[in-house]
Structure 1
């Protein structure tokens, strides 16, 4: 391979690494999609070939995640950030249809805040109005500084409202490296057992952007909405995947007549559902690449394979991080038990040590390790396409760095 086409180990947080075999297959589709003689980026989204491809994408997600028939799978644009607004509008419309007599000040939106992305989501809900916003818990209050997102809060700290229009959480905080455990018995799991005590369908909304398709989703059927930007484990930026329970696909215009905020047409889940996610031109190329990734995942054994591999990858990185911390070279930024499988964050101790660590990693062919600009430090993202040999390469480099710095 010539140097101009040489690839490095990409530990970036997103847009993130994609499997080389998928990129090679996609390059063929850019010229000729499925023998049509037309490249995928030039193909009509109304063509039978593309519609069949979209149907297959949905089937691959439904099969691998075991999505029940009570939920629809929808594809849209705007990333996770657009869903900050869309979930509020659609769930307030649903709530208005259920409670036409209820005033805005008596309508509540519940938010569990555990990191930068759930913080942005709650700020958007507050900005939009139309309901009171209740912060169920803010995990910063459990940090030593009172300012850091470094732990999943205890279950008994969560104060859910009696009948909220939505209950929101972010499963994996990409910036802060904090993640809910997928083991119910863990104190760092999401407190599903505290929900739905009054009966009825729980309006539970989850941002799964940076952990979607890395392992099974706990209690998937109990969620009203799960959404994910594709640019972590699935494909390029530009595609957002939604899993929406049927009762949350409502007539937003009927709700508006009863006093709910009007919902832009392309943000209405009903518009997406009624059109098969093809109301307007979708992100055709990102959808194509994502579909190829999903096909490859199924060939490789589905989520069971990826869950096992991702667990090993994370354990290897956390092990070397503990070693570095014991030697005074690294410092964990997340408390034990609350760490993410997908985004491992830490600091390199000492003046100019972080700079030296990043420069050495780059010389060794490893990129994308600098932490988010808002928090600094190091962030090792371990998405599906990051291979175990690449993780081993990082671990070996980190061990060498520890040895040099602690000598």
Structure 2
């Protein structure tokens, strides 16, 4: 039964969670799987939790069709921590593969399409250990120098043999996202066809934090690492899901002996894999909630089913946003055909006073979390998996009522 005191939560993260999952999690806090011990109290090495974490892995593997060539791991911290961790691990791998290569020839490729991929490339430069190369920067393809587009394929310049190729699939700050890959020639698709074709297994890294389990992942098997912090679509903050190709679990000590930067033990992908993500106490409660969310997702028909719902939700909000734009009230952060996000619908009213009134009126209607990222403000409607189509209809109705009053 729905709680009438709950509001529509459109926050960009932590995300809305299904109400049924929250009720189930409350019961788990008292008694996890009939153990008589709450999930926040139980040993992570207990047979009940070990079985549970294996089931969570299975739910991810089956719903995303993850091949056995890849391990599914759970790391502490968020996606931003992986900006460092993935560099250290893939540089260690590269050192083992090419021990005599000069540092200047260890190249890290970055596709920069938004605030988070820009943060990632800055972290790579801070860590050093190779030459950092910008494959493309979306700001160079914007008439106003902003992250408001997916750049054209012709603009990408991948290195011939990089140690890492990084991209962020969905950028939450401005609402920019690569298309789903169904049409690889689509101008907003990730240009897989431009990646080095004759270098064996590619070190391709995808940050899927804000779209994980919202739709299938294009060419998942070709990725070296996919990571996703949980708090956007599948759980509370504190745990990050990793899908790591098994050749990208390098021995950090062997790599360090050859001159690679040391990788802290708890941050080494090999450590996580060797200990089934239980080397030290993981984020037990967060993993528990992730499992509950994934079980519900499976019951609903999996990522293909929720993808269809997400497309309808986004279409409705972009339609309403377009009505406001045609009236001259607001401007879309990302124009149609330039890589609009299915997860984050972002726009700016022409006047701050109107923007503030819209946000205040939303709260009065029981709609919260719509003010944009502190860096850029504006309005951001985040419609992750748990936001229902009925809730989106309510938001759409409010938008139209508000526009009619101006």
TM-score tier, shorter chain, comes to over 0.9
Question: Does 2:243 match 1:239?
Answer: no
- Give the match for residue 208 of structure 1: 208
- Give the match for residue 96 of structure 1: 95
Alpha-carbon distance in structure 1 between the residues aligned to 2:178 and 2:122: 21
- Match of 1:42, SS state, is coil
Q: Does the Cα contact within 8 Å between 1:206 and 1:227 map onto a contact in 2?
A: yes
- Give the match for residue 164 of structure 2: 166
- Give the match for residue 149 of structure 2: 151
- Match of 1:40, SS state, is coil
Alpha-carbon distance in structure 1 between the residues aligned to 2:302 and 2:399: 30
- Give the match for residue 370 of structure 1: 371
User: What is the CA distance between 1:215 and its match in structure 2?
Assistant: 0.4
Alpha-carbon distance in structure 2 between the residues aligned to 1:390 and 1:59: 31
Alpha-carbon distance in structure 1 between the residues aligned to 2:296 and 2:352: 44
- Give the match for residue 386 of structure 1: 387
1:8-407 aligned within 5 A: 8-146=7-145, 148-183=146-181, 184-337=184-337, 338-405=339-406
- The structure 1 segments of at least 4 consecutive aligned residues displaced by more than 4 Å after TM superposition are none
Alpha-carbon distance in structure 2 between the residues aligned to 1:227 and 1:357: 35
1:182-237, Cα deviation, whole Å (9 max, x unpaired): 13231000000011322300110010000000000001011000000000110000
- Match of 1:231, SS state, is helix
User: What is the CA distance between 1:351 and its match in structure 2?
Assistant: 4.4
Supply the RMSD in Å over aligned alpha carbons: 1.2
Alpha-carbon distance in structure 2 between the residues aligned to 1:235 and 1:56: 16
User: What is the CA distance between 1:252 and its match in structure 2?
Assistant: 1.0
1:29-64, Cα deviation, whole Å (9 max, x unpaired): 100011111000000000000000000000000000
Alpha-carbon distance in structure 2 between the residues aligned to 1:351 and 1:254: 56
In structure 1, runs of 5+ residues without a counterpart are none
Question: Does 2:6 match 1:7?
Answer: yes
User: What is the CA distance between 1:84 and its match in structure 2?
Assistant: 0.3
Alpha-carbon distance in structure 2 between the residues aligned to 1:165 and 1:322: 42
- Match of 1:125, SS state, is helix
Alpha-carbon distance in structure 1 between the residues aligned to 2:191 and 2:405: 43
1:286-319, Cα deviation, whole Å (9 max, x unpaired): 1111100000100111111100000000000111
User: What is the CA distance between 1:176 and its match in structure 2?
Assistant: 1.3
- Match of 1:328, SS state, is coil
Alpha-carbon distance in structure 2 between the residues aligned to 1:17 and 1:340: 17
Compute the TM-score of the two structures, normalised by the length of structure 1: 0.98
- Match of 1:352, SS state, is helix
Compute the TM-score of the two structures, normalised by the length of structure 2: 0.98
Q: Does the Cα contact within 8 Å between 1:111 and 1:136 map onto a contact in 2?
A: yes
Alpha-carbon distance in structure 2 between the residues aligned to 1:103 and 1:252: 19
- Match of 1:281, SS state, is coil
Alpha-carbon distance in structure 2 between the residues aligned to 1:352 and 1:222: 48
Alpha-carbon distance in structure 1 between the residues aligned to 2:186 and 2:342: 15
- Match of 1:135, SS state, is strand
Alpha-carbon distance in structure 2 between the residues aligned to 1:202 and 1:371: 35
User: What is the CA distance between 1:2 and its match in structure 2?
Assistant: 11
Q: Does the Cα contact within 8 Å between 1:348 and 1:357 map onto a contact in 2?
A: no
Q: Does the Cα contact within 8 Å between 1:152 and 1:179 map onto a contact in 2?
A: yes
Q: Does the Cα contact within 8 Å between 2:161 and 2:199 map onto a contact in 1?
A: no
Q: How has the CA–CA distance of structure 1 residues 150 and 36 changed in structure 2, closer, same or farther, with 3 Å as cutoff?
A: same
Alpha-carbon distance in structure 2 between the residues aligned to 1:335 and 1:250: 42
- Match of 2:232, SS state, is coil
